[in-house]
Amino acid sequence: MDIKSYQSHAEGFVKHYLLADPFLPYTSVLAGIFLCKMAYDITQSFSSIHIKSYSALTKVKRTEWNNRSLQGLIVFRSSSISSFGLGVSVGYFLADLGMIIWLYPTLGGSEYIFHHCLSGVAVAYSLFSGEAQLYTYMVLLSEVTTPEINLRWYLDISCLKRSKAYLINGVAIFLAWLTARILLFVYMFYHVYVHYDQVAMMHPFGYLLVFVVPVALSVMNLMWFGKIVKGLMKTLEKKDNKE
């Protein structure tokens, strides 16, 4: 009975407060910041107990370790749930950007600041305006590569560069990056081309973001992809020489 009561209260809280239109943008951003901070703290607690090499890392390396862890026109389609998801993303970008700036350049250089600022502005605009949420989510899907990239850093700092897991991770990064940050962007550009008449109806600032943000991110993705391919080739060459 108590469980059902708690579930009922929780559903009511989400429905009538978190997903209520007037509060949605602000609570979702706060939720993103909270979830990012919670992931950081959980990673710190888990690593200090279960990862033997964690305690041997410097304070800066431990900090970096913890941190990685409808109908109508398509361009105007939105919902409370999709807006909430975008708000969480804005919260993540704000929290992560704050960490990058605070510990600069430990967690990343100027390219990371540029990436987070550009992405954050685009997602925030889509959240508050309700425009181009479909395209925003297409771009956000590229973040599925983040766990693989972070795992590679963990393997590297744990002296496992010659392990089988490191090789598998390299292949996973290559495939994920090719799919989410190259091919998906090509599809998005095609989709914008097919629905250009609808894109042209957007606010001028939103119209500009639809083209500027994906193009800028695509250039960065291609540059990083080149480094990924070179890194994977080196790993495969070392494996062949070892055999």
CA–CA gap between residue 181 and residue 186 (Å, rounded): 9
Higher pLDDT pick, 88 / 53: 88
127-159 pLDDT, tens per residue? 999 999 999 999 999 999 989 999 998 998 888
Encoded tokens for 18: 């978190």
Higher pLDDT pick, 40 / 119: 119
Residues 6+ apart with CB under 8 A from 223: none
Residue 213 has pLDDT above 80, yes or no: yes
pLDDT > 70 fraction of the chain, expressed in percent and rounded: 84
CA–CA gap between residue 196 and residue 211 (Å, rounded): 11
62-112 pLDDT, tens per residue? 777 776 664 568 888 888 888 899 999 999 999 999 999 998 988 888 988
Of 136, 120, 131, give the one whose Cα is nearest residue 205.
131
CA–CA gap between residue 161 and residue 143 (Å, rounded): 24
